[in-house]
Structure 1
Amino acid sequence: MGTDGMRWGDLSDNNNEMGHVLIIMLLEWLLVLFIAYCTYEAGSSRSGDRRSPFFFLKKFEKKHSASFRKPSLQRHGSKVYVQLEKLDVIQEREKVEQSLLEHDMSHAIVCDNLKKVYPGRDGNPGKSVVRGLSLALSQGECFGMLGPNGAGKTSFINMMIGLIKPSSGTAYVQGLDITTNMDQIYANMGVCPQHDLLWETLTGREHLLFYGRLKNLKGFTLTQAVEESLKSVDLFNGGVADKQAGKYSGGMKRRLSVAISLIGDPKVVYMDEPSTGLDPASRNNLWNVVKRAKQNRTIILTTHSMEEAEHLCDRLGIFVDGNLQCVGNPKELKGRYGGSYVFTMTTSSNHEVDIENLVKDLSLNANKIYQITGTQKFELPKKAIKIADVFRAVENAKSRFQVQAWGLADTTLEDVFIKVAREAQPFDVLS
């Protein structure tokens, strides 16, 4: 091209073909950029599963609503199990479908057939931890999730807060889809995780200042919100607020985590076993904080304390092996699954037969559940007896032999939990 080199005008010269070369380089750059993006999306996984390199094609797939069948067959490894859904779970699913069909915005949280399957490794089959959860929660409702260890409660919360992605299905928080709009959801969400995520070198006040700024609080509003949060969880007095979190006790760390979840007035709050490690006084104080907080927000709370669930939650769901087994308020669940009274009487060992005869006179369907040296316990079906008849029978027994102690107890929420968990064991129908 001579000593002057190339000029922009020379690109149109067919003799050098440099215009074509630059066009090819540009197209190659766009193509490689697209391939790099797909490879990154397929390779980066926070949940242990991998996205397909062709994930972008899913946007063009036609969405079909999942058909509802009762009972359903679920495969786990080489076995198939029958899963029978209870009427209350069916009604909850229908409520979700109706809410989505009518675009009802009165529910702060709507879970639509949410599923999570962790992929199998080393030849092992995949593990299903959440199996088709459908749930609709209203504003101002505290929903308690009960279940044994490994039931899938924490995995469900991790999906809702964006730590892991659902395998199928989705959920809507304030009308926003958790699979596509988590950035907007974060602004109105609070989380108290199962394990405290705190910086040991920061004080309690500094933690709340940091999270308050994340919620877009500034100036006097931020300072006031921090002080109110510290007072609500009893971390304000005695210089505790300005002590490093690494020097806090386990209970103090839990209270700080709860305060962090509530700062900034989030509309949806997730609390994963918030009262773990608290003494009775601190736990009662925490319960009061949660009861005040649920007035204008939706709270999902997991716990192993039946007392806490009954005290705080408007509705409860018992979660076993990834399935929602039942849902309702504590009184409904005790009435539905607790169909018996527990009758206890203690006498001398010589009159044990007399107690058995007394119970048989009350109900032929009574079931002895405990016996040791004069003390016996029986389950009496509620529909078969009247409480007045029990008192009358005990007074008659006192006139014939000595009764050292006796009692009649209603079914507790713990009894309901144990009964539902036992009945929810998978029924093996095919090996």
Structure 2
Amino acid sequence: MCYVVSLVIFGSAIGLKYFRLNSYSIQFVFYFIYSNLQIAVAFLVSSLFSKVKTVTVVAYILVYGTGLLGSFLFQKMLETQSFPEEWIVALELYPGFSLYRVLYEFSQYASRGNGMQWQDLGDSGMGEVLTIMSIEWFLAIILALYFDQVVSSGKQPFFFLDIFFNKSSSSLPRRPSTMQRLDSRKVSIDMDMDKLDVTYEREKVEQLRKEGVTGHAIVCDNLKKVYPGRDGNPPKLAVRGMYLDVPSGECFGMLGPNGAGKTSFISMMTGLLKPSSGTALVQGLDICNEMNKVYTSMGVCPQHDLLWETLTGREHLLFYGRLKNIKGSALTHAVEESLKGVSLFDGGVADKPAGNYSGGMKRRLSVAISLIGNPKVVYLDEPSTGLDPASRKNLWDVIKRAKKNTAIILTTHSMEEAEFLCDRLGIFVDGGLQCIGNSKELKSRYGGSYVFTMTTSSKHEEEVERLVSTVSPNAKKIYHLAGTQKFELPKQDVSIAEVFRAVEKAKSNFTVFAWGLADTTLEDVFIKVARNAQAFISLS
């Protein structure tokens, strides 16, 4: 709109009759309505397509097609007296032709020397054009909102009826869905795989739901996601019965191999996917029925950066801050603090387009966006990916400060990050939690052994195995690659002094390139739990 106003002022200043003779108020009303109509149509078109390239191609066809048809076809229709007026009105239903009609009428009145005034609206057809565009503006906004919910969010076509039945339906038990019935054959497997800590978490959630407690930040109650089978394949169980309670002030870390279902879980919690069955409460709000209310207290850092290349870092934060209803000086202060927290404030970096940022800078901006406005719940999907060690440490400090009054769910492949940030951890394998606890508890529970590592030439590998068997008869080989072998030595069977003596003796018999004895790490626990769970699933 500012561009159009500048164009009118400049055109009038140089004496163009088109701008100077036609009523400025009529021009302003037309440009205002048309600009907002175009914005509404853009939202409508974007809600119908999922790919940016498709929208771009469609937009180019519409713009250039309108220009060609307007100059060759529509103008001849207007200048042909015998052409039916009804056909012209029908064509004006398309915004591009409405624009051409108005520009044509402005130029005709300006060429006569008197320009268009308000009393000329009825004679020129301008009145009907403005009326058509005003109605289309309103309809485009309504349709854009509707299709965004139905096409993009996957809601039912008559989702708006839930507003009237929301209270009554939310109090009733949910009927098992088709996907839930398909999943029923797996229930016994899920129950067998549950460990004591996972069982305790489920019982805690069931007790919270029974008592009607709504003060907890995140409560997942038997949350499931099943993708339908395709091409003869069976349905895919992405998340199989998730029970989880995350209070405010806690950072819960989700560890798991690729394809374990972590992203599907995050997508359900953020409203991108609809649960197949079960539900989750966020600040007491049901994600199945009240997701629009959940958005107001939620921050998300997705796995892949979703940024506008032409907007600066500051403009991104201003935009998202306004979405969270932060205004005035509070917004300015929040933006500056966010930029400083992720080291994007100094050196004019905040005012550079995001398209010029490095991968690490974009990642830091995504985290800042998720934390602005002090959301009650934050989801961080691998937030430190692509960061150098110094930036990663600074980012961890930001997240650690932010969790004071916030519940955070963090997915990561970095064991160091998980130990530094997370109060509790859950190892996620094949759609289900295999264990829950803090890092010390997990290492104590699953790591009752030392990890012995030795690297030799390949021809001495059998001698290393004999060495280990003499030190610990119950030792178990867990890794073997190009002369490097790792063994788990049960702590109750091993004396550290005996291991040192055995290694020194072995050095006199063959060359030892490197060796080490370490307590169990979180990475060892993760590998052990994931391997055991996958073995159980394959046997089942």
> What TM-score do you get using the length of structure 1 for normalisation?
0.78
Alpha-carbon contact 2:229-2:235 (below 8 Å) kept:
yes
After superposition, the C-alpha distances for 1:187-226 in whole angstroms (9 at most, x for unaligned) are 2111111111111111110111111111111111110110
The share of aligned pairs that are identical, in percent, is 71
In the alignment, what sits opposite 2:150?
Answer: 44
Alpha-carbon contact 1:140-1:297 (below 8 Å) kept:
yes
CA distance in structure 2 between the aligned counterparts of 1:402 and 1:336, rounded to whole angstroms: 36
Task: Show the 5 A alignment for 1:7-406.
Answer: 44-46=150-152, 59=169, 62-63=172-173, 75=185, 82-83=189-190, 84=192, 85-345=194-454, 358-369=467-478, 377-391=486-500, 393-394=502-503, 405-406=514-515
Unaligned runs of at least 5 residues, structure 2: 1-142, 177-182
Question: Secondary structure, in 3 states, of the residue corresponding to 2:189?
Answer: strand
CA distance in structure 1 between the aligned counterparts of 2:286 and 2:484, rounded to whole angstroms: 57
CA distance in structure 1 between the aligned counterparts of 2:216 and 2:174, rounded to whole angstroms: 23
Task: Summarize the Cα distance change of 1:404–1:134 in structure 2 as closer, same or farther, 3 Å threshold.
Answer: closer
Task: Summarize the Cα distance change of 1:196–1:334 in structure 2 as closer, same or farther, 3 Å threshold.
Answer: same
Question: Secondary structure, in 3 states, of the residue corresponding to 1:172?
Answer: strand
Query: In proportion to residue count, which structure has more helix?
Result: 2
Higher alpha-carbon deviation: 249-258 or 304-313: 304-313
In the alignment, what sits opposite 2:12?
Answer: none
After superposition, the C-alpha distances for 1:269-289 in whole angstroms (9 at most, x for unaligned) are 111111111122211111111
CA distance in structure 2 between the aligned counterparts of 1:349 and 1:121, rounded to whole angstroms: 46
Alpha-carbon contact 1:46-1:164 (below 8 Å) kept:
no
Alpha-carbon contact 1:119-1:127 (below 8 Å) kept:
yes
Task: Summarize the Cα distance change of 1:378–1:184 in structure 2 as closer, same or farther, 3 Å threshold.
Answer: closer
Query: In proportion to residue count, which structure has more strand?
Result: 1
Larger radius of gyration: 2
Question: Secondary structure, in 3 states, of the residue corresponding to 1:151?
Answer: coil
Alpha-carbon contact 1:162-1:182 (below 8 Å) kept:
yes
CA distance in structure 1 between the aligned counterparts of 2:482 and 2:266, rounded to whole angstroms: 48
After superposition, the C-alpha distances for 1:2-52 in whole angstroms (9 at most, x for unaligned) are xxxxxxxxxxxxxxxxxxxxxxxxxxxxxxxxxxx9xx89x9354668689
Tell me by how many angstroms 1:420 deviates. 1.7
Residue 419, structure 1, aligned to residue 525, structure 2 = no
Question: 1:414 is aligned with what amino acid?
Answer: E
Alpha-carbon contact 2:218-2:280 (below 8 Å) kept:
yes
CA distance in structure 1 between the aligned counterparts of 2:346 and 2:516, rounded to whole angstroms: 45
Task: Summarize the Cα distance change of 1:117–1:48 in structure 2 as closer, same or farther, 3 Å threshold.
Answer: farther
Task: Summarize the Cα distance change of 1:46–1:321 in structure 2 as closer, same or farther, 3 Å threshold.
Answer: farther
Task: Name the Cα RMSD after superposition.
Answer: 3.5
Q: How many residues align?
A: 383
CA distance in structure 1 between the aligned counterparts of 2:481 and 2:342, rounded to whole angstroms: 45
CA distance in structure 2 between the aligned counterparts of 1:303 and 1:272, rounded to whole angstroms: 7
